[in-house]
């Protein structure tokens, strides 16, 4: 018997997937109705969180943040059995994950942070990516069960908090990527380019798949010569973006800020170097 605390969009589908594998699951959520809704699939819902974790050996969490995780775990500290394994899928700070791992070990429990790059559909279908790091003996014990929850389990070694840090790194990229894509869509609208035409372009030419590794290597190695795209030329194109959007009476979100940074580097004499030099310090 396991317990699952936090049955929102992601947690509820993790529970449903577990139930399909004939795992008995006791569930709890702040809004009891969300936990209760899972009874139709075979879960046992509790309004009292302490009853939800009584006599279980493994507890999964999918909550909001560090504060909510700490609050929920504090409520059950005097109820769960010694040696209970706590698996936390919440996106939290790395410092929080490190502190909880140590604190709960001192109390006689196992805390394993396992954040995910998975949406609700992934949780239901057991696809996507789950990240772990820390106690390798514990991870070895959990590997089979965690692998059943996701398409790919990524183990980043013994450093506690590394998985939490990489989850934040990934999310930062997703945020920047999405805003950048929004600017590209605005530019497309300014040129009367349809979504279908954009999909045709990106379906054939996938810049994320073909350039991320190269760009990251340039940034990390500070290797900006010889250039694959000169900063002067990238800045020229950036101005074309802004002019077209301005002529259409629209606004861009991130491109103007990037253009200003480009101007600083050009003024400092870096115009003939690879444009990724703007990721460094002048």
**Structure confidence by residue, pLDDT tens digits, 232-242:** 999 999 999 99
Write phi, then psi, for 74 (nearest 5 degrees). -60, -35
Q: Which CATH number fits domain 2-158: 1.10.3720.10, 3.40.50.720, 3.40.50.300, 3.40.50.2300?
A: 3.40.50.720
CB 178 within 8 A of CB 208: no
- If DSSP codes are grouped into helix, strand and coil, which group holds residue 193? coil
Domain ranges of the chain: 2-158, 166-279
Per-residue pLDDT of the chain (282 residues; tens, 9 = 90+): 999 999 999 999 999 999 999 999 999 999 999 999 999 999 999 999 999 999 999 999 999 999 999 999 999 999 999 999 999 999 999 999 999 999 999 999 999 999 999 999 999 999 999 999 999 999 999 999 999 999 999 999 999 999 999 999 999 999 999 999 999 999 999 999 999 999 999 999 988 777 888 889 889 999 999 999 999 999 999 999 999 999 999 999 999 999 999 999 999 999 999 999 999 987
Closest CA to 12 of 57, 62, 68, 76: 62
Q: What sign does the dihedral 248-253-258-263 (CA atoms) show?
A: positive
61 DSSP assignment: E
Fold of 166-279: 1.10.1040
C-alpha–C-alpha distance, residues 268 and 110, integer Å: 53
Buried b (16+ CB within 10 A) or exposed e, 102-127: eebeeeebbbbbbbbbbeeebbbebe
């Amino acid at each position: 018997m396991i317990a699952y605390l936090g049955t929102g969009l992601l947690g509820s589908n993790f529970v449903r997937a577990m139930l399909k594998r004939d795992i008995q699951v006791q569930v709890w959520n702040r809004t009891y109705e969300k936990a209760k809704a899972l009874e139709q699939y075979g879960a046992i819902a509790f309004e009292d969180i302490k009853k939800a974790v009584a006599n279980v050996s493994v507890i999964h969490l999918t909550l909001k943040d560090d504060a909510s995780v700490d609050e929920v775990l504090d409520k059950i500290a005097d109820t769960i059995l010694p040696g209970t394994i706590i698996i936390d899928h919440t996106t939290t700070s790395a410092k929080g994950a490190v502190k909880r791992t140590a604190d709960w070990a001192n109390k006689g429990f196992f805390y394993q942070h396992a954040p995910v790059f998975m949406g609700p559909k992934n949780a239901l279908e057991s696809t996507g990516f789950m990240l772990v790091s820390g106690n390798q003996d514990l991870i070895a014990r959990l590997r089979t069960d965690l692998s059943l929850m996701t398409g790919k389990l990524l183990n980043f070694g013994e450093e506690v908090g590394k998985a939490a840090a990489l989850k934040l790194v990934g999310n930062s990229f997703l945020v920047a990527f999405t805003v950048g894509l929004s600017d590209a869509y605005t530019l497309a609208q300014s040129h009367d380019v349809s979504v279908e035409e954009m999909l045709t372009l990106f379906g054939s030419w996938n810049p994320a798949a073909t350039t991320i590794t190269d760009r990251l290597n340039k940034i990390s190695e500070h290797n900006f010569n010889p250039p694959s795209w000169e900063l002067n030329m990238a800045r020229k194109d950036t101005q074309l973006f802004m002019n077209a959007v301005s002529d259409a009476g629209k606004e861009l979100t991130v491109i103007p800020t990037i253009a200003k940074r480009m101007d600083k580097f050009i003024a400092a004499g870096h115009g003939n170097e690879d444009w990724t030099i703007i990721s460094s310090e002048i």
